[in-house]
Chain A
Amino acid sequence: MEAPLLHLALVGTPNSGKTSLFNALTGSRQKVANYPGVTVERKEGFFVTPLGRQVSVVDLPGTYSLRGRSPDEEITRDFVLGKASGESMPDLVLCVADSTNLRLTIRLLLELKRTGRPLILVLNMFDIASRRGITVDVEGLAKELGVPVVTSIAVRKGGTADLLRLTDEISAELDPEPQENKWRALSVSELRATQREADRIIADCVSLPSRPDTWTARIDAVVLHPVGGLLVLALILFVMFQAVFAWAQPLMELLNSGFDALGELVHDTLPAGLLQSFLQNGVISGVGSVIVFLPQIIIIFLFILLLEDFGYMARAAFLMDRIMGGAGLHGRAFIPLLSSFACAIPGIMATRVIDNKRDRLTTILIAPLMTCSARIPVYTLIISAFIPAKEVWGFINLQGLVMFGLYAMGIISALLVSFLIKFFMLRDYAPAPFMLELPDYKMPRLKSIAIGIFTRAKMFLQRAGTTIFSMMVLIWFLASFPQPPLGATEPAIDFSLAAIIGKAIEPLLAPVGFNWQIAVALIPGMAAREVAVAALGTVYAIEGGKEAAEQIGQVLATKWSLATALSMLAWYIFAPQCASTLAVIRRETGSWTWMAVTFTYMLVLAYAASFLTYNVAVALGAG
Chain B
Amino acid sequence: MTDDNDTRSQIPLGLAQRGYTGVIQHLSARDAASALPDIELESRLIELGFVEGARVEILHEGIVGRDPIAVRVDNITIAVRRREAMAIIVA
Which A residues are closer than 8 A to B by beta carbons?
64-65, 67, 69, 100-101, 103-104, 107, 186, 188, 191-192, 195-196, 199, 208, 212, 216-217, 220, 224-227, 229-230, 314, 317-319, 321-323, 325-326, 331, 430-438
Contact = CB atoms under 8 A, between A and B. Distances in A.
A108 to B, nearest CB: 8
B75 A100 contact: yes
A318 B70 contact: yes
A227 B62 CA distance: 9
Given A101-B76, A226-B61, A195 B49 contact: yes
A314 B79 contact: yes
Contact of B80 (A65, A195, A319, A435): A435
B83 to A, nearest CB: 7
Interface in B42-91: 42-44, 46-49, 51-53, 59-68, 70, 74-81, 83-84
A68 B47 CA distance: 12
B58 to A, nearest CB: 12
B33 to A, nearest CB: 9
Contacts of A314: 79
Contacts of A224: 59-60, 70
Contacts of A100: 75
A208 B79 CA distance: 23
A222 B35 CA distance: 32
Interface of B: 34-36, 39, 41-44, 46-49, 51-53, 59-68, 70, 74-81, 83-84
Contacts of B63: 226-227, 229-230, 319, 322-323
Given A103-B49, A430-B35, A437-B48, A321 B79 contact: yes
A398 to B, nearest CB: 31
Contacts of A188: 39, 42-43, 46
Contacts of B84: 433-435
A431 B35 contact: yes
9 contacts: A69-B44, A104-B76, A188-B42, A208-B75, A225-B60, A322-B65, A431-B35, A434-B84, A438-B70
A437 B78 contact: yes
Given A224-B70, A430-B35, A435 B49 contact: no
A220 B44 contact: no
- Chain A to chain B: the 9 pairs with minimum beta-carbon distance, closest first: A322-B64, A430-B35, A224-B60, A226-B63, A64-B47, A438-B77, A318-B79, A191-B46, A433-B84
A224 B59 CA distance: 9
Which of A107, A230, A433 is most buried by chain B, counting CB atoms within 10 A of its CB? A433
Given A314-B79, A437-B76, A321 B44 contact: no
B48 A435 contact: yes
Contact of B44 (A212, A227, A433): A433
A403 to B, nearest CB: 27
A433 B80 contact: yes
Given A188-B42, A191-B46, A321-B62, A435 B78 contact: yes
A430 B35 CA distance: 6
Contacts of A220: 59-60, 70
A405 to B, nearest CB: 24
Contact of B81 (A208, A323, A434): A434
A443 to B, nearest CB: 18
A433 B80 CA distance: 8
Contacts of A438: 70, 77-79
Nearest to B73: A103
Contacts of B70: 220, 224, 318, 438
B62 A319 contact: yes
Given A101-B76, A188-B42, A224-B70, 7 more contacts: A191-B46, A226-B63, A323-B64, A435-B48, A435-B78, A435-B84, A438-B77
Contacts of A65: 43, 47
Nearest to A356: B35
B27 to A, nearest CB: 8
A551 to B, nearest CB: 46
A104 B77 CA distance: 12
A250 B22 CA distance: 56
Contacts of A104: 47-49, 76
Given A220-B60, A226-B63, A212 B49 contact: no
A213 to B, nearest CB: 9
Contacts of A430: 35
Given A104-B47, A321-B79, A434 B42 contact: no
Contacts of B74: 103
A225 B53 CA distance: 28
Given A101-B76, A192-B51, A433-B41, A331 B68 contact: yes
A100 B41 CA distance: 26
Contact of A434 (B39, B46, B59, B68): B68
A100 B77 CA distance: 12
A220 B75 CA distance: 15
A158 B34 CA distance: 47
Contacts of B47: 64-65, 104, 107, 191
Given A188-B42, A436-B79, A318 B68 contact: yes
B36 A433 contact: yes
A437 B46 contact: no
Contacts of B59: 217, 220, 224
Contacts of B42: 188
A325 B83 CA distance: 13
A225 B83 CA distance: 20
B17 to A, nearest CB: 13
